[in-house]
Each structure stands twice: as structure tokens, then as C-alpha cells.
Amino acid sequence: MLEKIKFYLSVCLASSILGAFIVGVNIILKYGIHLVTGRAFHFHITSVSIIFSIVFISSFGYAVNKGPAFMKE
């Protein structure tokens, strides 16, 4: 039972880190493009939350489908 809880917590943490990394790269790229073109950069939380949700759900679902043996590979 403890192994399952540890597995789900580690998968949740890894999915959150992956989602945050992809959102950060997206923001940096958007900011760089707007900086080069001379336009103002507007931060929209809606797009950030959508991207994070998609990445988090897909990576969490992938890891859960693979099972705890996925972490031992």
C-alpha cells in the first residue's frame, strides 16, 4: 500500500515539474518573440492553465497506465 502511495505521489510530482517546465519554456519563447518584434507582451493565465492541464493529465495518465514498474526502469 505504501508503495502505491509513493508511486502516485512521485508521478504527480514528476507531472507537475514537466508541466511547469513546458509552461516556462512557452512563456520565455513568447516573451522573446514579442521582445524582438517590439510588441507588448501580455501574460494570459488561461493559456498557461490549459497547457499545464494538458501536459499534467497526459503525463500522469501515461505513468499510471504503465504502472509502478515504470518507475523501476
pLDDT digits (tens, 9 = 90+) for 32-50: 888 888 887 777 778 888 8
Range of the structural domain that residue 41 is part of: 17-54
pLDDT tens digits, one per residue of 12-25: 888 889 888 988 88
Q: Provide the number of structural domains found in the chain.
A: 1
**pTM flag (> 0.75):** no
Whether 20 and 52 have beta carbons less than 8 Å apart is answered as: yes
33 lies in a domain?
yes
CA distances, 27 to each of 30, 34, 36, 52, 61 (Å): 5, 11, 14, 12, 25
3 lies in a domain?
no
The CA distance from 24 to 6, in Å, is 27
44 lies in a domain?
yes
Whether 47 and 10 have beta carbons less than 8 Å apart is answered as: no
